[in-house]
Amino acid sequence: MNYPGKLDNLVAGGVPADLSLQENLAKECYEEAGIAAQLSMQACPVGAVSYARSNAVGVKRDILFCYDLELNEAFQPVCTDGEVQSFELLALSEVAALVRESDEFKLNCNLVIIDFLLRHGFIQPDDAEYLPLCAGLRQIGYTQACP
C-alpha cells in the first residue's frame, strides 16, 4: 500500500503494456469498485493530466487519463481486489474543500479532482487560480501518443 489512510478516486490504476486504455478501464472499474464492464464502457474520456514529481528515487513523470462516469446515487461500490479499505460518498463541495484545505487525498488524485472542478465550472475563469491551475495540470509535453 503506497498511500495508507489517504483518500483516492473511486477507480484508478496503472496501464499495463498489454492492455488498451479501454481494456484497462474495464479491468480497474471491476477490480476497484465492482463496476461491470458494460457500465464501465459508458465512461466518457475527458482528457489527461500530466505531472512530474521528485522523490528519493528520482523524478516520476506520469500521465493520468481521465474519464467521467456518472453513477446512480444508489450504486454501491464493492472492492474485488482487496486494495480498498472502504468507500465514502462525499458532496462535491466537501471534496473541493478537502482538496483546497488539506492533504487528505493522494497527491495525484487532487490533480484529477481539480481538472473535474475546472471542466464542470466549479472553478471559474475569474478565479485568480484558474489559469495557473489549467497550466499546472499539463506539465509534461509528449511528442507521440501514449499507450
Residues 90-102: pLDDT tens digits?
A: 999 999 999 999 9
The CATH superfamily holding the domain 21-70+77-136 is Nucleoside Triphosphate Pyrophosphohydrolase (3.90.79.10)
Confidence tier at 143 by pLDDT (50, 70, 90): very low
SS3 20: coil
Residues 111-120: pLDDT tens digits?
A: 999 999 999 9
Nearest to 84 by CA among 130, 45, 30: 30
Contact between 53 and 107 under an 8 Å Cβ cutoff? The reply is yes
- Higher-confidence residue of 68 and 51: namely 68
In the chain, the percentage of residues whose pLDDT exceeds 70 is: 94
Reported pTM: 0.87
Residue spans of the domains in the chain: they are 21-70+77-136
- Could you list the beta-strand ranges (E) of the chain: 44-54, 59-68
d(Cα 25, Cα 141) in Å, to the nearest integer?
Answer: 23
Contact between 137 and 115 under an 8 Å Cβ cutoff? The reply is yes
Task: Record the cell numbers describing residue 131, joined without a space.
Answer: 489559469
